[in-house]
Structure formats: structure tokens, C-alpha cells
Amino acid sequence: MAGIPLKPIMLGQKRFSFRGWQARLIASRKFQKWAAQFPVTRRLVRREGEALFDLLAGFCHSQILMALVKFDIPTILMSGPRTIDLLAAQSNVPPERMVILLRAGAALGILKSRNGKKYALTRTGAALVGVPGLPQMIQHHDVLYRDLADPVAFFKDEVDTELAN
């Protein structure tokens, strides 16, 4: 593991903490590569990598969920599977764009594809409709996301927010 900082770094007479050393070690690309290949740490590395990816994907997931709710797709599908064209027409969305949304909903486990031509609700999708107030809560996040359009300005308290009004 040449090139991996195994010794704590000294700065003048002050010694960095163990946590700082650990953070630098874990941030090292060489260490990451080694840990991903070492049998004892491989599983942990994969799990933590997946968790990090989930954090990154969370915003996209919430936007897909919001679009499904705003277009009322889960409620429409409560009466049974529908074609892409029918859902597109009912939502006033071009079919080629609707198929993207429906595939995304299927990837989230809310919808399921029937031969690629029809879509239906999963049990999770049905629960989304059945939980009182859940669709309204999802739509309410629209205001929060507008407030967070510039997260740096938001946390510096440099913008007026809709939620505060």
C-alpha cells in the first residue's frame, strides 16, 4: 500500500487527531482501491458506496415521485393498468416524455411495466395513494425545492423563502 498515508501527519508540534488521519486515509484513492479489492473490507466498501450513491440519487427520486403525484398517475392506475398513450393524453404530456417518467417510476418500485406498453401500480404505489395526506405532503415539497434552488444562499440566509411566508 505504498503512497497511503499510514502515519499521522505532524504540523509543527501539533498532532492531528485520529479521526483526521482516518478521513485522509479513507479519502486516498489508493486506499479506496485496496479496500475495494481486499476480501475483509470489500463488502463494507460496496455498502458505503451504495449509500453514498443513494444520497446523490435522492433528489432525482423525489422529483420523479413529485411528477408522478402531480400528474395523478398513481390514482389513475388504481383502477388497473393503462397504456403509455392513455396516461400521456390524460396528463397532457408527450408520449415519449411520459415513457421516461413511467420507467423512472418503475425503477423506484412505484410502478411496474406490463410488456413495456402498459403500466400498473406496485404495492408500494398503491400504498402511496392509500396513505392519507401523503400525496399532498409530496406536492408540498415543491415549495421546499424552490426554496433550496440555491442551497448555499439558503443556508447563508441570503434568500427569502416561501416556506417562511
For the chain, which domains are there? Answer: 26-130 (1.10.10.10), 132-164 (no CATH)
Cα torsion through 84, 124, 69, 78, rounded to 10: 60
Q: What is the residue-level pLDDT of the chain in tens, covering all 165 positions?
A: 556 655 655 555 566 688 888 998 999 999 999 999 999 999 999 999 999 999 989 989 999 999 999 999 999 999 999 999 999 999 999 999 999 999 999 999 999 998 889 999 999 999 999 999 988 888 888 888 888 889 999 999 998 888 777
**Cell 442551497 appears where?**
151
Residue 14 vs residues 7, 8, 96, 124, 165: alpha-carbon distances, Å: 14, 11, 61, 54, 48
User: pTM for the whole thing?
Assistant: 0.72
What is d(CA 48, CA 159) in angstroms, rounded to the nearest whole number? 34
Among the residues of the chain, which ranges form H helices? Answer: 18-27, 29-37, 39-70, 73-77, 84-91, 95-107, 123-130, 134-147, 151-155
Say if CB 109 and CB 102 are below 8 A apart. no
